[in-house]
Amino acid sequence: MKEDANTQWAQRRIADLGAADPAAELGQRIDPVTGDHEVVTRDALGEDLVLERRRLDPPGTAERFGA
C-alpha cells in the first residue's frame, strides 16, 4: 500500500514538473558530489528532474552517536 502511495505521489510530481510522460520510469542514483540518495526522472527535454533527495549518513555515524 505504501509503495502504491509513493508511486502515485511520484507520478503526480512528475506531471507537476512537466515530465514528458507521467508514467515515466523513475530512477535512483547517488549524487557523486554530496553522496545524497536521489529519485529522478527526465523532463520533456531530457534533463534530470530530482523528485526526492535524502541525505545519507556516512557509514558508522549511527554507532558513533549511539543511535
The model's pTM is 0.40
| Predicted pLDDT of residue 14 | 67
**All three cell numbers of 20:** 514528458
Return per-residue pLDDT of the chain as tens, 67 residues: 566 777 777 777 767 766 555 445 677 778 778 778 888 877 667 777 777 787 766 655 555 545 4
CB count within 10 Å of CB 6 equals 13
SS percent in the chain: helix, strand, coil, step 5: 30, 30, 40
Q: 60: phi > 0 → left, psi -120 to 50 → alpha, else beta; which?
A: left
Beta strands in the chain (DSSP E): 27-30, 37-42, 48-54
The residue among 17, 1, 63 whose CA lies nearest residue 26 is 17
| Predicted pLDDT of residue 19 | 52
